[in-house]
Structure 1
Amino acid sequence: MKRIITLLLLFVVTHALAQDETIKGLQSDANKDFKKDPNDTIVKTWKTGSTISFNLAQGSLSNWAAGGDNFSLSLNSYINGYAFYKKEKHSWDNNLDMYYGYVKTTSLGTRKNDDRFDLTSKYGYALSPKVNLSALFDFRSQFSKGYNYPENKPREYTSNFMAPAYIMLSPGIDWHPVPNLSIFVSPLTARWVIVNDDSLSAKGAYGVDTGKKSNFEFGAFASINYKAQITKTISYKGRLDLFSNYRHNPQNVDLYMTNMFAVKLSKILTATWSLDLIYDDDVKQFGPNLNSPGLQLKSLIGVGLLVKLRNY
């Protein structure tokens, strides 16, 4: 019996010592620094992400001596999505901007104050670290019907989805002198102006011939895109497009410019200011007789939610 007990004790002690050595071995392995095999490293060829912003403002008055609308409400939304590809000398940048906004007041009713979307796709082949041989596609239009509201006159129907729309195909050189700055230049660019609406095409709106629904333009194009993190809380995104139509008044250069400043107030709360400028010599809706071109300007300031999603 004593022999059996002795054997059992020897077994337990031996097993415990073996477990102790195993635990020590596992602890030692856990503290080791493991280096990843360079051959297993996979370089990401795609970078995707999006930005979603909603700004809401509301005001109301009651027995307000200075006057004003009893009620006002505005909602503005901005959604950006992008997908960037890069592998060896090849790159492919895709960007979609969508804006939509409504304002409602007691006296004026409901009107939209922002409506547009812009899809840009650009392929590049690197000739040097800062210069690409590129081809650009751009499509720009709006989502819904738009109106002008002349003083003391009925509202005037001016736009709709695909009326107008702008489609551009442009081969050229894309220069990146510094990070986050792109300067694209093309001397040979094809642009189509589409007015897919019977009543607007009958007026010859946006430069199409009366009764026609599209107009082909051929000219020179330049696009400058820039992003900057001005401070830890202030960022900027801007774009400037210039187009000269060789076929009609090439000296009158069309301008399309967008600017967006964002001030981060908290993790998701942001103040934004957008300033857009457009000049198109073929858009003759301004002046005393509403038949002259003019510089279009839109400024929107708001505070709301801004969320950025990235997959790097």
Structure 2
Amino acid sequence: MKQLFLMSTLLMSILLVNAQDKTIRNLQTESGRSIKKDAADTAKKIWKTGGMFSFNLSQAALSNWAAGGDDFSMAITSYLNLYAFYKHGKHSWDNTFDANFGYVNTTSLGARKNDDRIDLLSKYGYELNPKLNLSGLFNFRSQMLKGYTYSGDEKTFTSNFLAPAYVLVSAGLDYKPVKNLSIFVSPMTSRWVIVNNDSLSAKGLYGVDTGRHSTNELGAYATINYTANINKTVTYKGRLDLFSNYKSHPQNVDIFMTNMFAVKLSRVISATWSLDIIYDDDVKLFGKDKNSAGTQIKSVVGAGLMVKF
């Protein structure tokens, strides 16, 4: 009887060990399997976020160079783009932030910036049909550091952070006929022009009355935003803003246009070309007497690091 009990106990122990060993092997097998999305799962992401950063650097030094040139020159250009897009049901919320900064230093000219811009755009939309949204838009645009215009050896202080700054609030219709193209139109838009600097406001620049730090404009507004992959290596991002001030010379439409072409040379190395065009009838810093408006054009070409995330 005692032998039978011992044999039964031994047999049960062997069976339990085998069962545990099989369970462990199954767990190891399951943990090593890759998880694949079910083809029937069609749920879309509510948030889509990402961005791009580019940094270009060029430097040259000359010594006893017969062809001539500055003994030393260095140029830096950088660009940061961040985005966060929300989409759920009929509701959408698009947010983008752009920052540009450029710096150049040469023996003859000294140090000066050649690019400086910060731009925040936020747009909420309620879908009326697959291609048309009822939307509200907010835009803030300014710069980071002091800006100067140069004439020979003379430089004139012309701008700074929040001097000027443009704050725009608008309600209208957002039409999206094809992917990556948005056309927003509003017949009623409020725009504030801010000059938060005493010396600049004392000159009455940027359409703000002398001695004041801000002014409000009411007008019509349109913005067109487009991005495209031209081919496997070339991408384009562009924006065109148009604003007509009902209160003063509505026929003189303010224009703000940015274009960015990027050519991918390797996984992290790219060549870029940016072209910006601005016309604002209230920015009277140009001409022979520096008191008239003019078309502002900025073109920057560079090659260097570009990272998308």
TM-score, normalisation: structure 2: 0.90
Secondary structure of 2:154 counterpart? coil
Q: Is 2:99 the partner of 1:106?
A: no
**What is the CA distance between 1:43 and its match in structure 2?**
3.9
**What is the CA distance between 1:29 and its match in structure 2?**
7.4
- Separation of aligned partners in 1, 2:148 and 2:63: 30
Secondary structure of 2:120 counterpart? strand
Aligned length: 307
The 1:108/1:185 distance shift into structure 2, 3 A limit, reads same
Q: Is 2:145 the partner of 1:141?
A: no
- Separation of aligned partners in 2, 1:70 and 1:35: 60
Who is 2:212 aligned against? 212
**What is the CA distance between 1:229 and its match in structure 2?**
0.4
- Separation of aligned partners in 1, 2:27 and 2:177: 53
Gaps of 5+ in 2: none
Root-mean-square deviation (Å): 3.0
Who is 2:279 aligned against? 279
Matches within 5 A, 1:1-312: 43-151=44-152, 153-309=153-309
Higher relative contact order structure (alpha carbons within 8 Å, sequence separation ≥ 6): 1
- Separation of aligned partners in 1, 2:80 and 2:51: 7
- Separation of aligned partners in 2, 1:267 and 1:226: 24
The 1:10/1:204 distance shift into structure 2, 3 A limit, reads closer
Q: Provide, for residues 201-240 of structure 1, a one-character-per-residue CA deviation record: whole Å limited to 9, x for no partner.
A: 1111111111111111111000000000001010000000
Secondary structure of 2:182 counterpart? strand
The 1:174/1:106 distance shift into structure 2, 3 A limit, reads same
- Separation of aligned partners in 2, 1:33 and 1:100: 44
The residue type paired with residue 171 of structure 2 is P
Secondary structure of 1:149 counterpart? strand
The 1:155/1:34 distance shift into structure 2, 3 A limit, reads closer
- Separation of aligned partners in 2, 1:260 and 1:233: 14
Gaps of 5+ in 1: none
**What is the CA distance between 1:37 and its match in structure 2?**
8.0
After TM superposition, the structure 1 stretch with the greater mean CA deviation from structure 2, 67-76 or 18-27, is 18-27
- Identical positions, percent: 63
The 1:65/1:174 distance shift into structure 2, 3 A limit, reads same
TM-score, normalisation: structure 1: 0.89
